[in-house]
């Protein structure tokens, strides 16, 4: 699977391109904060883009962006459909978006890692779905276990997360605010206490309308999928043991279904 176009930009270069295009912002890009240091970096980024041939000054004295680059930036800033994956572990904290603009047909993977933004353009929706599954960055395979799913309120889960560093028993006391299988609560508490990997996934339409979404919490032995109710006003989550393969399948399928 090879990208048709691959574009790597520093965060400040993205800021320059957004300003030239008069676009308000982009998912996964920290907003520009005016300051003497920020202005200096902005000016340096502009000169770098000119040197790279991505921006030029026209006869009217206006900066213009290369047409291909402009298409990528515009589609990433205002997509018709977008998947957003946030992956966190001890080794990385990476946001990857998959902005899709259906009417010029631009399918893009946008990865943000430590201020460096990589945009890759693909020709087929299946390639984007496969890229999304890979973006989970799952380092080891984990199988599901036979425990009952839990129904937990969002506030209860937040309380459990807040005491995570205090160990499984503190987490278990927080989870016990809601009724559920004690064995399932114990295993979830152990996973939260020893979690080494977290991911959140959202499938969005026009940035504000969520089509699908879930989170995954994993230790070295177990992983759980946390899914909110479809009713946006519901306070309840379903937390179920899952496998890493099933998580990949859900992301892959959500991309193919939505796109």
**pLDDT tens digits, one per residue of 22-51:** 998 998 898 887 788 878 988 999 999 999
In the predicted structure, residue 170 carries a pLDDT above the cut 70: yes
User: How many C-beta atoms lie closer than 10 Å to residue 224's C-beta?
Assistant: 24
Query: Which range among 57-61, 79-83, 96-100, 110-114 shows the weakest confidence by mean pLDDT?
Result: 57-61
**Same domain, yes or no: 95 and 58:** yes
Give the model's pLDDT for residue 183: 94
Out of 77, 110, 134, a domain closes at 134
**Bigger pLDDT: 121 or 101?**
121
Burial of 8 (0-12, 13-18, 19+ CB in 10 A): exposed
Q: Which domain holds residue 228?
A: 150-258
Q: Which residues fall within 8 angstroms of residue 247, CB to CB, at 6 or more apart?
A: 136, 138, 199, 216, 223, 225
**Same domain, yes or no: 32 and 115:** yes
The mean pLDDT of 98-120, rounded to a whole number, is 91
Pairing of strands 106-113, 116-122: antiparallel
**Same domain, yes or no: 93 and 50:** yes
* DSSP label at residue 165: G
The single residue listed with the structure tokens 């879930």 is 214
In the predicted structure, residue 232 carries a pLDDT above the cut 90: no
Give the model's pLDDT for residue 87: 95
Task: Give the pLDDT band of residue 235 (cuts 50, 70, 90).
Answer: very high
State pLDDT tens for residues 174-208: 999 999 999 999 999 999 999 999 999 999 986 66
Domain assignment of residue 141, yes or no: no
The answer to whether 152 and 234 are in contact (CB under 8 A) is no
Average pLDDT in the chain: 92
The percentage of the chain sitting over the pLDDT mark of 70, rounded to a whole number, equals 98
Q: What are phi and psi of 151, to 5 degrees?
A: -105, 115
* The two structure tokens encoding residue 214: 């879930």
Domain assignment of residue 167, yes or no: yes
* The two structure tokens encoding residue 187: 């295993």
**Same domain, yes or no: 126 and 155:** no
**Same domain, yes or no: 9 and 110:** yes
Out of 100, 134, 168, a domain closes at 134
**Same domain, yes or no: 195 and 225:** yes
Domain assignment of residue 186, yes or no: yes
Give the model's pLDDT for residue 188: 96
Q: Tell me the C-alpha to C-alpha distance, in Å, between residue 219 and each of 90, 111, 206.
A: 12, 25, 34
**Same domain, yes or no: 22 and 129:** yes
The mean pLDDT of 102-126, rounded to a whole number, is 91
In the predicted structure, residue 210 carries a pLDDT above the cut 90: no
Pairing of strands 209-218, 223-228: antiparallel
Give the model's pLDDT for residue 1: 59
């Amino acid at each position: 699977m090879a990208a048709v176009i691959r574009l790597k930009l520093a965060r400040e270069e993205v800021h320059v391109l957004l300003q030239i295009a008069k676009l308000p912002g982009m998912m996964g890009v920290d907003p520009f904060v005016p300051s003497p240091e920020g202005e200096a970096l902005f000016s340096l980024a502009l000169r770098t883009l000119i040197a790279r041939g991505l921006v030029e000054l026209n006869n009217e004295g206006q900066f213009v962006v290369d047409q291909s680059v402009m298409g990528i930036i515009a589609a990433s800033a205002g997509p018709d459909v977008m998947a957003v994956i946030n992956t966190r572990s001890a080794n990385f904290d990476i946001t990857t978006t998959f902005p899709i603009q259906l009417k010029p047909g631009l399918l893009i993977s946008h990865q943000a890692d430590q201020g460096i933004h990589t945009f890759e353009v693909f020709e087929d929706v299946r390639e984007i779905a496969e890229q999304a599954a890979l973006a989970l960055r799952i380092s080891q395979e984990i199988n599901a276990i036979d425990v009952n799913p839990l129904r937990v309120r969002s506030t209860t889960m937040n309380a459990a997360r807040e005491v995570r560093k205090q160990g499984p028993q503190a987490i278990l006391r927080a989870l016990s605010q809601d009724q559920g299988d004690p064995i399932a609560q114990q295993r979830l508490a152990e996973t939260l206490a020893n979690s080494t990997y977290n991911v959140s996934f959202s499938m969005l339409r026009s940035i504000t309308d969520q089509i699908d979404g879930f989170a995954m919490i994993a230790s070295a032995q177990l992983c759980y999928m946390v899914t909110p109710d479809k009713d946006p006003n519901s306070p309840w989550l379903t937390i179920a043991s899952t496998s890493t393969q099933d998580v990949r399948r859900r992301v892959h399928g959500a991309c193919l279904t939505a796109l």
